């Protein structure tokens, strides 16, 4: 789930050299125009350039030679122009930002500097809400986070006036910006220049060429780390497997200064612990010589012979069924959905539902307090960037055949734009489910009834591979007005080496209590360490406009009065308007349940209900850590499952704008404790989806996907079931399909 | 894998026979052989016969002229023979039961008698577990529940010896058997013979021919109802709509004696309440003159050009991927899954997972204590029978095109067998989801990795329409060993008439508190009353055999010792073996979480973990009613979310074998309070899935499906990820599809 990142160097260099060599001679892989765009020829050592080339290099793909469906734009994006106020910065715009900044005083000193983030500075919400197609775009601006000589700066660059506004410069809060690929790369290679490290490796009988080291964010545990930007580094053996995560060199931890590039400390608490073997750790299909062909499943596919029912207009406006929204990739959040509106067929209005929704932060605390593990308390969005940690989606497997893909345009740390191809997919899903139904026996001379409607949904998906873990983030839209946010966890566990090869070897004390392993033995010498995952969503709901209230509809037992009823009790719903933020800090409870509505008091239905949407929690988990524990202070946005804050443009990242090594002084919990008024205001709802993960052997060597979700669901938003008039499936509508081998 | 071929051949033969038959006679609807089977010619007023005729009468179907996929058997099932010890009674066997009983002393008296249930008496579990294909079947027996002159009797009929064993005769427990269709029919028509009733209807200005009345189980609220088998009856106007549920004649309730056929009491508390109008209540597609064709969705389908990957052997054994199980329809549970086993490719063993799983009972308390509503506290399985309340599934809409169907063979109340055609469907589902994945940037000279596997599942579905509500029950199997039980709720709300047409009319007291409506106004004069749904599953897990233990893996905060770690706390897992039933009564809590494992202490994995499955709750709800409230006493099986009991063949129905008007003296709660030993025993786990439902306008006039689920998931059952070697999708495997209009 987190760092590991980037050791990609060697092969990357080789790959780039290979491509450079080839383009200069005869063959060419990938669109040549992108070479100009990236200008990677002069920075072939940059992992950004290298990874971009990798993404374009179809030959390097291990499986799936399929070309993804064509996208409604050019692959190089050089001529893209913005069409909507929320459209991400284009290639041209990113280049212009770089050009403007290059002549700015802050960067003129030639001191080392890094652009940690270059994204659109979104126009004011009201401007965006009022904008309609055909209007001129509001002034385009870029929001930039830069590091210069160790200081962070927040800047706004006006692309029409070329004016640079120093919004917060230098920043004096705790925490640092997202670590760049180059920094991770330098961390990953640093150990090999260290004599002590090399000695340690050799003393364990490991070949240095088999070792890979990856940086892991250090968290923040008090003043010791203050005023130094550091990362921890741990190493693995790649010998005999691509799945080096299963072969940890346990207990060996390096502390690395990201600014001075110095190794500050080496600790080694695991000399006696063997490196787990490579047997059964490889998961590559191409590497199974005896692929198990016993009872394989027959091919299965979602088919739409007339093509998808949605359109993506102007590159970013998705229109499907009664839904319309703006979709864009984001380096930090992965993707952002904005201006979500639904067409109401009763009134023929297009009605606002959500202004903006995205994954604001993650928190992944591991549950082992020992030296080599205590710091593993990752915040993947703010420390690494979910969007930056994507690779191209694999057509037919990451998304079904009827999917359409969208590219991400991001800026490298030197400000050059690059394309993350096929970063998002959009597809219609039909799993055989039922949208609504009723059957009724013929009654009293009436005709029999059998009315059933199939459920078709629209899925928007991205996948971040933050080191070992893979996060599959789906936003699913239903025609009945429901939106579902779903998180799937797959990828590879972060495991711990142990000398035990069997549970029966675990030591017991005099009372017979087993030694605490902080997890389970998954394989010989491998412990899967217990951990949690929290994914916090920012949900700026605007139900029929921004002025909304949050209502807890509390369900509680009501005893009947004597003689009132043969019943002793019933359950009643008590509506409570939440007036301030602290009342909107909500811990879910099975035996004190509520519904959580966001309503528009100013707009009522025909029969007088305020229009609303409700947030519907499903399976989740809550953090059990001490609130004063440093990791929980930084991840304090997980102290409740739901929070409600007044809209504030600067409060978007639940762990703070500067998450890396933050002290927890700029979290959602801190903002919410100001207890501001939230009644009949523009409010933002925050929902945290949690997972406890006690690893088991089935998670070895790669984990079957575990997923959970929550819903945003209309509650008296529509006058009636909005899909009452939906059509059933008819045989004459459905495709005629043949097996490929027969048809071709 | 190639059952398709067989099906096609079969279809061809049937088609040819049909043509021959058709040309030799004139017109005929439905196979004529079934007429003999049912002999409905002389009892056309029987709802069973009526419904049977409806089911066979293709002309009567409102939509979807599609013929369901052929099944690997004859539609009339006259020649079916049992192939497995758990196979349901065949047509021949049911006929034989009737014949044996007709000469038995109990039924010789010519006193009125009813067969409430005729099902297979399952052989002893050990006999079934030891049986292998080719062995002789254990003696076939029928378990019969009969009512004779008001007494209930439990009998076993031995089909080889013709011996009738009076197991419990007459029964002296509280409660009565399932109400028969004939009884419901007599209740529904009884009011119209009552002068007071007719006067009341006419006084409301309603045409009697527009009125439909339906029986509603009365619950049990104390001695008043003792020694009388009664039902409540309420009525609706069908004028202008087939959706009469939306037009209640509010407050008019009749109490009917099911044995004497007398109306005992008429109460009328709603004379001043108008009947809600019919506008916008019809939901029939064929009745929308201006069908909304705006932006319809393009056709979408799950396609398998090589056919499904599963086979159904001997009519009831489903084999798919690594799974194998016995599937049968059941009049009370709807369907029963037995002998669930999974093939372990590591060891090439077929390993036991679950002996038997089914929906044991439902509990649906409405939350209105007033005269016309207090008794609405339904237990749909034990009062009506989930299997009996099915209609044929609608191909293409209830189940996708790649589904295969299974018929139910049940006995009518006079003992004649009848066929519930297409009662269950089985299909493979692919929604575009991911079974597992990982992408990894190229590291240290290693190749880049992008490995993704699509998720395909097998779904077994049935749908019960218990009056107004539709319960979609899915059992979903994943190739990674996970089983999911999913309940979808759709259909029509039970609503209450009100004089209010707008929320602003609701009366307030001096303190400004609104009058309690017990629900929400959904439309003019319509209140959707708050209610709960609980679905309790019986799960006889046998993980690697019957001797299992239940382990609570409790997650709790552990504070670190001073100086132990920079961390103040972590979360640790504490394993607790549950020794007796009371310790296995579990209320879920977000802040006191546990995993719930069923393990086999006698069998460990290679590294020493006991093999196990865990029950994974997802979204659910808990009953808030007073435990001493009569409905909650009867539905006491919902007092906890999980219970664990020792296997006892007589403890299968959580609300008691005789649920109708039961007093709650034979529930799961009563059994469990005996606190029997459950460690290292054959144990049964019970899980209750709950829903709170506060209706909203979107539920009017028919409800979009709401669903929830829980999982049974391997936990150290396999040595490793069992789908590690699964194949990805390849383009060359997938179908080539065209639009039907183009292709034909």
Find the CB nearest A447 among B242, B622, B720. B242
Q: Do B568 and A626 touch (CB under 8 A)?
A: yes
Q: What is the DSSP string of A297-321?
A: PPP-EEE-TT--S-EEETTTEEEET
CB B428 within 8 A of CB B417: no
For the cut 70, the answer to whether the pLDDT of residue A743 exceeds it is: no
| Residue with tokens 């951990």, as numbered in its chain | A531
Kindly tell me if the per-residue pLDDT of A295 is higher than 80. no
Residue with tokens 């102007």: A314
Q: How confident is the model at residue A4 (pLDDT cuts 50, 70, 90)?
A: very low
B36 pLDDT higher than 60: no
Give pLDDT, residue B308.
Answer: 95
- Is the predicted pLDDT of residue B257 greater than 50, yes or no? yes
pLDDT, tens digit, 9 for 90 and up, residues B177-206:
999 999 999 999 999 999 999 999 999 999
ipTM above 0.85, yes or no: yes
Domain A311-434+452-505+516-732: CATH architecture, name and number where available: Distorted Sandwich (2.70)
**CB contact at 8 A, B171 and B153:** yes
Is A384 an active-site residue? no
Give me the residue spans of the domains in chain B.
1-65, 77-172, 181-275, 312-438+450-501+518-733
Distances (CA, A) of A146 to A98, A107, A582: 11, 10, 35
pLDDT of residue B295: 52
Q: Which helix or strand (DSSP H or E) is residue A382 part of?
A: helix A380-383
Computed over every residue of chain B, the mean pLDDT equals 89
Binned at pLDDT 50, 70 and 90, residue B4 comes out as: low
Starting at the edge strand that comes first in sequence, how are the strands of the sheet with A164-168 ordered?
A113-120, A141-148, A151-158, A164-168
Residues A492-512 have a mean pLDDT of 96
Q: Which residues in chain A touch residue B309, judged by CB atoms under 8 angstroms apart?
A: 295-298, 300
3-state secondary structure of A611: strand
8 Å CB contact of A396 and B430: no
| Confidence band for B289, pLDDT divided at 50, 70 and 90 | confident
Q: Cis omega before residue B65 (within 30°)?
A: no
pLDDT over 60 at A241, yes or no: yes
B334 to chain A, any CB pair closer than 8 A? The answer is no
Tell me: cis bond preceding A701? Omega within 30 of 0 counts. yes
pLDDT at A27: 29
Residue B459 to chain A, least CA–CA distance (Å) = 9
For residue A71, give the 3-state DSSP assignment: coil
Inter-chain contact B622–A591, Cβ cutoff 8 Å?
yes
The residue in chain A having the minimum alpha-carbon distance to the alpha carbon of residue B527 is: A607
CATH class in words for B181-275: alpha beta
Instruction: Specify whether A380 is catalytic.
Output: yes
Closest by CA to B481, choosing from B562, B438, B409, B544, is B544
The residue ranking higher by pLDDT, B288 or A509, is A509
Which two three-digit tokens encode residue A37?
A: 């765009």
Q: Which of A67, A71, A61, A75 is nearest to A33 (CA)?
A: A75
> What pLDDT sits at residue B413?
95
pLDDT for position B733:
86
SS3 string of B535-560? Answer: EEEEEEECCCCCEEEEEEEEEEEEEC
* Mean per-residue pLDDT, B260-274: 95
A68-113 confidence digits (pLDDT tens): 444 545 578 999 999 999 999 999 999 999 999 999 999 987 778 9
A465: nearest CA in chain B? Answer: B439
- CB distance B573–A694 less than 8 Å? yes
Give the residue from B42, B139, B142, B49 showing the smallest Cα distance to B101.
Answer: B142
Which among B491, B589, B697 has CB closest to A718? B697
Torsions phi, psi for A635 (to 5 deg): -100, 30
Q: pLDDT band for A740, please (50, 70, 90 cuts).
A: confident
- Hey, is the C-beta of B301 within 8 angstroms of any chain A C-beta? yes
DSSP, collapsed to helix, strand or coil, labels residue B461 as strand
> What proportion of chain B, given as a percentage, has pLDDT over 70?
88
Q: Domain B312-438+450-501+518-733 belongs to what topology?
A: Beta-galactosidase; Chain A, domain 5 (2.70.98)
Q: Give me the residues of B, 181-220, that contact A with CB < 8 A.
A: 188, 211-212, 214
Q: What pLDDT is recorded for position A64?
A: 28
- pLDDT score of B106 more than 60: yes
pLDDT digits (tens, 9 = 90+) for B581-595: 999 999 999 999 999
Quote the percentage of chain A above a pLDDT of 70.
88
Q: Which residue of B has its CA nearest to A209?
A: B444
List, in order, residues 6 or more apart from B105 with CB less than 8 Å away.
Answer: none
List of chain A residues whose C-beta atoms are within 8 Å of the C-beta of residue B694: 553, 555, 573, 595
Residues of chain B with C-beta less than 8 angstroms from the C-beta of A499: none
The listed CATH number (3.30.950.10, 1.20.59.20, 3.30.70.1450, 3.10.450.40) that belongs to domain B77-172 = 3.10.450.40
Q: Are A448 and B60 an interchain contact pair (Cβ–Cβ within 8 Å)?
A: yes
Among candidate residues B469, B471, B596, B613, the one labeled active-site is B469
Strands B211-217 and B230-237: antiparallel
Average pLDDT, chain A: 89
Per-residue pLDDT averaged across B262-287, rounded? 95
d(Cα A147, Cα A169) in Å, to the nearest integer?
10
Q: What confidence score (pLDDT) does residue B610 get?
A: 98
Query: Which whole number is the average pLDDT over B3-8?
Result: 51
Fold match flag (B77-172 vs B181-275): yes
What CATH number has the domain spanning A181-282?
A: 3.10.450.40
Best of A4, A397, A560 to mutate (most B CBs within 10 Å, chain B)? A397
Predicted pLDDT of residue A63: 26
Tokens of A428: 């219609």
pLDDT at A222: 85
Asked if residue B230 has a cis previous peptide bond (ω within 30° of 0), the answer is no
Q: Mention every residue, 6+ apart, whose C-beta is less than 8 A from residue B544.
A: B351, B352, B600, B602, B603, B611, B717
Between helices A9-24 and A181-189, what is the axis angle to 10°?
120
Which of B268, B344, B368, B380 does the annotation list as catalytic?
B380
Nearest by CB to A439, from B438, B470, B605: name it.
B470
Q: Which of B2-11, B296-305, B482-491 has the lowest mean pLDDT?
A: B2-11
Structure tokens at B195: 């002068």
- HSE (CB half, 13 Å, CA atoms) of B91? 17
- In tens, the pLDDT along A201-221 reads 999 999 999 999 999 999 999
Q: Sheet containing B248-257: which strands, arranged edge to edge?
A: B211-217, B230-237, B248-257, B263-268
Average pLDDT over residues B418-430: 97
In our burial notation (b when 16+ CB lie closer than 10 A, e otherwise), range A48-63 reads bbbbbbbbbbeebebb
């Amino acid at each position: 789930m987190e760092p590991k990142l980037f050791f990609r160097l060697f092969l990357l260099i080789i790959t780039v050299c290979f491509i450079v060599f080839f383009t200069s001679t005869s063959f060419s892989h990938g669109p040549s125009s992108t070479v100009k765009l990236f200008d990677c020829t002069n920075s072939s050592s940059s992992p950004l350039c290298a990874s971009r080339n990798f993404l374009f290099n179809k030959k390097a793909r291990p499986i799936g030679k399929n070309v993804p469906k064509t996208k409604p734009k050019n692959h190089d994006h050089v001529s893209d122009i913005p069409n909507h106020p929320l459209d991400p910065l284009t290639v041209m715009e990113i280049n212009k930002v770089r050009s403007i900044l290059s002549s700015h005083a802050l960067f003129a000193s030639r001191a080392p500097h890094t652009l940690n983030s270059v994204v659109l500075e979104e126009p004011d919400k009201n401007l965006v809400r009022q904008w309609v197609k055909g209007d001129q775009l509001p002034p385009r601006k870029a929001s930039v986070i830069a590091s210069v000589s160790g200081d962070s700066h927040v800047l706004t660059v006006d692309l029409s006036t070329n004016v640079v506004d120093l919004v917060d410069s230098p920043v004096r809060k705790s925490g640092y910006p997202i670590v760049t690929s180059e920094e991770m790369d330098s961390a990953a290679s640093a150990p090999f220049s260290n004599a002590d490290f090399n000695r340690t490796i050799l003393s364990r009988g490991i070949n240095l060429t088999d070792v890979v080291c990856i940086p892991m964010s250090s968290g923040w545990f008090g003043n010791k780390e203050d005023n130094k930007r550091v990362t921890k580094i741990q190493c693995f053996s790649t010998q005999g497997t691509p799945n080096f995560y299963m072969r940890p060199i346990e207990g060996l931890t390096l502390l690395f200064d990201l600014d001075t590039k110095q190794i500050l400390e080496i600790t080694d608490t695991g000399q006696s612990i063997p490196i787990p073997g490579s047997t059964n750790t490889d998961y590559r299909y191409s590497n199974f010589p005896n692929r198990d062909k016993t009872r394989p499943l027959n091919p299965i596919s979602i088919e739409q012979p007339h093509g998808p029912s949605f359109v993506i207009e102007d590159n970013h406006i998705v229109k499907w069924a009664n839904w319309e929204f703006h979709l864009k990739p984001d380096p930090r959040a992965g993707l952002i959905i904005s201006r979500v509106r639904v067409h109401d067929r009763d009134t023929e209005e297009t009605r606002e539902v959500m202004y903006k929704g995205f994954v604001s932060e993650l928190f992944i605390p591991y549950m082992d307090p020992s030296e080599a593990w205590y710091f593993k308390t990752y915040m993947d969005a703010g420390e690494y960037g979910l969007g930056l940690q994507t690779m191209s989606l694999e057509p037919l497997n990451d998304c079904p055949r009827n999917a359409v893909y969208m590219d991400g345009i991001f800026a490298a740390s030197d400000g050059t734009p690059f394309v993350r191809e096929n970063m998002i997919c959009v597809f219609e899903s039909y799993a055989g489910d039922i949208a609504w139904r009723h059957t009724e026996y013929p009654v009293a001379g009436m005709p029999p009834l059998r009315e059933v409607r199939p459920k078709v949904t629209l899925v928007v998906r991205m996948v971040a591979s933050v080191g070992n873990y893979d996060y599959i983030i789906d936003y699913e839209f239903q025609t009945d007005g429901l939106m579902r946010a779903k998180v799937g966890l797959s990828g590879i566990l972060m495991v711990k080496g142990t000398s035990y090869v069997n549970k029966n070897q675990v030591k017991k004390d005099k009372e017979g209590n087993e030694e605490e392993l902080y997890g389970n033995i998954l394989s010989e010498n491998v412990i899967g360490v217990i951990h949690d995952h929290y994914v916090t969503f920012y949900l700026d709901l605007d139900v029929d406009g921004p002025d909304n209230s949050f209502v807890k509809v509390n369900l509680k037992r009501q005893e009947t009065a004597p003689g009132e009823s043969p019943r002793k009790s019933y359950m009643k719903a008590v509506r409570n308007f939440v007036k301030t933020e602290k009342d909107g800090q909500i811990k879910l409870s099975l035996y004190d349940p509520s519904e959580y509505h966001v309503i528009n008091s100013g707009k009522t239905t025909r029969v007088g209900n305020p229009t609303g949407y409700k947030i519907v929690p499903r399976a989740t988990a809550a953090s059990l850590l001490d609130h004063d524990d440093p990791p929980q202070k930084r991840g304090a946005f997980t102290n409740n499952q739901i929070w409600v804050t007044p809209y504030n443009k600067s409060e978007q990242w639940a762990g703070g704008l500067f998450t890396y090594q933050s002290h927890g002084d700029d979290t959602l919990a801190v903002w919410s404790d100001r207890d501001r008024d939230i009644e009949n205001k523009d409010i933002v709802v925050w929902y945290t989806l949690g997972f406890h993960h006690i690893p088991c052997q089935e998670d070895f060597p790669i984990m079957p996907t575990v997923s959970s979700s929550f819903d945003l669901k209309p509650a008296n938003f529509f006058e009636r079931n909005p899909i009452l008039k939906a059509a059933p499936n008819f045989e004459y509508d459905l495709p005629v399909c043949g097996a490929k081998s027969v048809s071709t």
